[in-house]
């Protein structure tokens, strides 16, 4: 990774922590794929836009219906 890319990732992580009031370092618990048969959903507010077959990094299991994730663009 170049220093420029590293700084971009660090900035994205800081914004993520601020937006979701997440304390500590961001640790990826696992990865999951959005169901290829699911309908695509537009994001809004704190909801992530979903695309079929997209791979997501799971950061935290918040409750039975919601999971804190980030996509390949680190959003």
pLDDT digits (tens, 9 = 90+) for 16-62: 788 878 787 788 888 988 888 888 778 777 778 888 888 998 888 88
Across the range 7-19, mean pLDDT stands at 83
4 falls in which pLDDT band (50, 70, 90)? confident
Q: What is the pLDDT of residue 25?
A: 79
Going from the N-terminus, what domains does the chain have, and what CATH number goes with each? 4-71 (2.30.30)
Which SS3 state, helix, strand or coil, does residue 35 take?
A: coil
Residues near 73 by beta carbon (within 8 Å), at least 6 away in sequence: none
Q: What is the pLDDT of residue 2?
A: 82
Going edge to edge, which strands form the sheet with 67-70? 30-33, 55-61, 67-70
Q: What is the pLDDT of residue 5?
A: 83
Q: What is the pLDDT of residue 3?
A: 83
């Amino acid at each position: 990774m170049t220093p420029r890319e590293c700084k971009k990732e660090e900035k994205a992580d800081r914004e993520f922590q601020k937006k979701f009031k997440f304390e500590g370092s961001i640790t990826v618990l696992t990865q999951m794929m959005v169901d290829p048969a699911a309908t695509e959903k537009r994001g809004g507010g704190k909801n992530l836009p979903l695309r079929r077959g997209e791979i997501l990094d799971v950061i935290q299991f918040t409750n039975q219906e919601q999971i804190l994730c980030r996509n390949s663009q680190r959003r």
